[in-house]
Amino acid sequence: MGQIIKVGMADFKVGRGPDIVTTLGLGSCVGIALYDPVTKIGGLVHIMLPDSTKIRHNSNKAKFADTGIHQLIDEMKKLGAGESRLVAKLAGGAQMFEFNVTNEIGNIGQRNVVASKEILGKCNIRILAEDTGLNYGRTVELYCDTGDFLIKSVGKPIKTL
């Protein structure tokens, strides 16, 4: 039996099949799961903001899409994952309240998704699937055995990406 490894907000964790890496209740934050199908090493980062360079208090790398994704890749490589084999799945980036989307916080979910995809693109990591945007929260589970990415939401059937 593998472990269930829990990732908090502005946090990342790495596992290896048959571990399950999970984060609970993503709202406007984005959960980016990276997976190496050969070594079955998987990792998940729960980012809150798009860009560390725009903010002075940026010591927690897992808080931001740019630094968080790089940190996760490094950690997975240390465990033996091959960078060129990594694939990505992402979820979250919802707009939890119907704010005026012109203000900075109003569209933070969308900006988190855009930034995450940009960083993945720069790292040449292919995005296999995503479940992002809209207006509801998501709990995600990455199964390191298979690379399956399960998404659970209130009042909706479970999705597997």
Residues that bind another protein (CB under 8 A): 8-11, 24-29, 48-49, 55, 57, 59-60, 63, 94, 96-99, 105, 108, 135-139, 154
Q: How far is the CB of 119 from another protein (least distance, A)?
A: 18
Out of 5, 7, 26, 29, the active site residue is: 29
| Residue 135: both structure tokens together | 């207006």
State how far the alpha carbon of 31 is from the alpha carbons of 56, 88, 99, 129, 148, in Å. Answer: 23, 10, 22, 12, 14
Q: How far is the CB of 113 from another protein (least distance, A)?
A: 14
Nearer to another protein, 28 or 116 (CB): 28
Nearer to another protein, 86 or 151 (CB): 151
Nearer to another protein, 9 or 161 (CB): 9
- Helix, strand, coil percentages (3-state) for the chain, rounded to 5, are 25, 35, 40
Q: How far is the CB of 147 from another protein (least distance, A)?
A: 23
> What does the DSSP assignment read for 22-53?
EEEEESSSEEEEEEETTTTEEEEEEE-BS-GG
Whether 29 is a known active-site residue: answer yes
Query: What are the residue numbers of the active site?
Result: 29
